[in-house]
Structure 1
């Protein structure tokens, strides 16, 4: 619990400005209008693990490294989008306070300048370099836009780097993590279950929780018997998780199951992976059928408490929020709901403790979203 978050104040990041989340609980639900900043809050929290390292910020480019290149989005554009588009001064800044009393001010600054660069070097950075063209390119210079970047921790400059316009190749220098920061942060995107990327190796190491998970998964396949790892020797490192069910003659690969089953397994295995750390669930209810929400969410909430996992969950769904708040009465004192909205001062928030959120919704008709 020592490296969980107690308060965070985001001065500037993407479209967020002057947002303060106080008295953060073990289970935190973030809701509000579209484009209100919920995912951006998760991204800021994700950066806390090692905020001085440009590799951390590179990982927050939303399209992802591989897809960015395919779609033609350069690292220059991706980094530039991390800053508030409406402000001339390009600064990311937040203050975070951990439960152990540690306080940090994190700042990332960017300055856009014009600079001459050899055409050969620019083409190489842009991914179009061909050794056969070297003779024709080596003497040509181009004037291009350059983004000078710096990171600061508690006012001390920690790292600097730069990106050129159109740059598609970027491998920043590694910065050693500060062990006073949160050591384990697990982020789950709304569509990760469709990519077949799970944390099952962790949950198979906890027999009791594995058995409990199988009971929850009966909501998705009442005949499920087990989940096993099939290590195909012909494809080293390419094994497959398979589900054995009484309704099928043989075990089937997990990926042939529906999105609901895959999402439930992903969420539950992610809780194990985040033990003693922080879990970020973006649009956590995606693909989970309402009939299975109670048991699935109850397992997640109670397991987070058991394994000392601080969780931040975003959602647009009134029903999903209601299910989380009511699925485990013994955990209600560990919950808080933050509703984000934009106003003239920036990004504001309404905070309600779990019990108060239920009362406001059921007795006063308050719309938590």
Structure 2
């Protein structure tokens, strides 16, 4: 089973302790006179360490440029998308994109699938992007992934393209069984081949998946289009990820803005929300309580507003994807929260893609937006057994909303 829990803080701490222990033991050996009869034991230990280094290089591309982005400052985000083949989305073209993009449709119309496709395009030839989408959709923890289950979940022949920062981008993903005599076939399952292209740069990665041992990834380098963050109320909740978002919000000085919004709009007695490092829990200082309270003791709506708002600092000059935006948030708060989303997206130069089932949510963005040209709306509808996009610019959709009781979800 692939061990991709290196992002878990407890796992990283355990690694550091183990490495420190090894160094301490080496220090002890250096002070001793080494007898010839124990040299084989030392060489055996050296071989095991070298094996760890080799696996790390194969699996995580140590020593090569990985997970860098093409641009740290961008003039434009996505201006068009083409989902040629991803799950039930076939040749889905979307060309009216803005800074904030609303997608709606009936159940099983492909809204979450569309967000996944955009995320994969952002991640380019990074295998971990595909892993992230599949395991979180399946609510599978990083260290619990069954490689055979994972392979079964990979859609066939993925192809997604678009225009980002005024340049063409593309990603193709396929998985197959290699005919390579050098592969240990007793553990080998399949390979995942990812080809990506952006502007004038083409990249590839090949990841071999094994049962009972770590996977191996081969690539010259891994590059992403931009920072990208995907949030869904239906994905596995992982507190350590929000810890990363929290610290970036602290460094960017956007956290006080988020706290002020929650205090003004949600809980008037709330004074602060802080992360307890040792437990990865968020603790709330509330003037009506003597002691801090766990954030989980407050309503889901407050928690969702807080966690969504934290995402923006981690997606500066990039993309945020929010599934079922209105989930757990009271309808009276939607327009006000839409205002905060608008403000944060400007502050961090972030393009936002969000899905919603709620007419109130869609109308909240339309009615709130002072700069309506920064908004686009799109309904995913089924037409002759395929999903197509009914697109509206913010200005056009506002006219429809103001003209009458228009429900984008029912577009034909």
Settle same-fold status: TM greater than 0.5: yes
Structure 1 residue 270, shift from structure 2 partner: 0.9
Aligned length: 326
Confirm or deny: 8 A CA contact 2:339 2:368 kept in the other structure.
yes
More helix by share: 2
Identify if the C-alpha distance between structure 1 residues 169 and 295 changes in structure 2 by more than 3 Å, giving closer, same or farther: farther
Equivalent residues in 2 for 1:329-348, closer than 5 Å: 329=370, 331-344=371-384, 346-348=386-388
How far apart, in 1, do the equivalents of 2:142 and 2:110 lie? 23
TM-score (norm 2): 0.70
Q: 1:187 offset after TM fit, Å? A: 1.0
Deviations 1:169-199 (A, max 9, x none): 6534164223xx4220011112469654522
1:193/1:213 CA distance change after superposition, 3 Å: farther
1:63 to 115, 132, 138: 138
Please give the alpha-carbon distance, in whole angstroms, between the structure 2 residues aligned to 1:346 and 1:150.
27
SS of the aligned residue for 1:292 comes to helix
State yes or no: 1:18 paired with 2:91: yes
1:320 deviates by 1.0
Residue 14 (structure 1) shift: 1.1
Give 1:156 shift: 6.6
Matches within 5 A, 1:182-331: 182-191=225-234, 195-196=238-239, 197-198=241-242, 199-207=245-253, 209-218=254-263, 219-231=265-277, 235=278, 238-329=279-370, 331=371
RMSD: 3.1
Where do 5+ consecutive residues of structure 1 fail to align? 84-89, 126-145
**C-alpha separation in 1, matches of 2:377 and 2:398:** 10
Distance of aligned partners of 1:91 and 1:265 in 2 relative to their CA distance in 1, 3 Å threshold: same
Structure 2: stretches of 5+ with no match in the other structure: 1-73
Whole-Å Cα distance in 2 between the matches of residues 150 and 282 of structure 1?
Answer: 28
State which of 174, 177, 186 in structure 2 corresponds to 1:109.
174
CA distance in 1, matches of 2:154, 2:363: 32
1:337: Cα distance to partner? 0.6
Q: How many Å separate the matches in 1 of 2:141 and 2:346? A: 35
Name the SS for the 1:106 alignment partner. strand
TM-score between the two structures when normalised by the length of structure 1: 0.78
Distance 2:205 2:179 in 1: 21
Structure 1 residue 36: deviation in Å?
1.2
Query: 1:159/1:306 Cα in 2 relative to 1: closer, same or farther (>3 Å)?
Result: closer
Equivalent of 1:177, from 211, 218, 222? 222
Q: Partners in 2 of 1:51 and 1:76 — Cα distance?
A: 24
Offset at residue 152 of structure 1 (A): 2.4
Closer, same or farther: CA 170–349 of 1 in aligned 2, 3 Å: farther
Name the CA shift for 1:43/1:361 in 2 (closer, same or farther; >3 Å): same
Flag the 1:113–1:230 CA change in 2: closer, same or farther, 3 A. Answer: closer
Determine helix, strand or coil for the equivalent of 1:43. Answer: helix
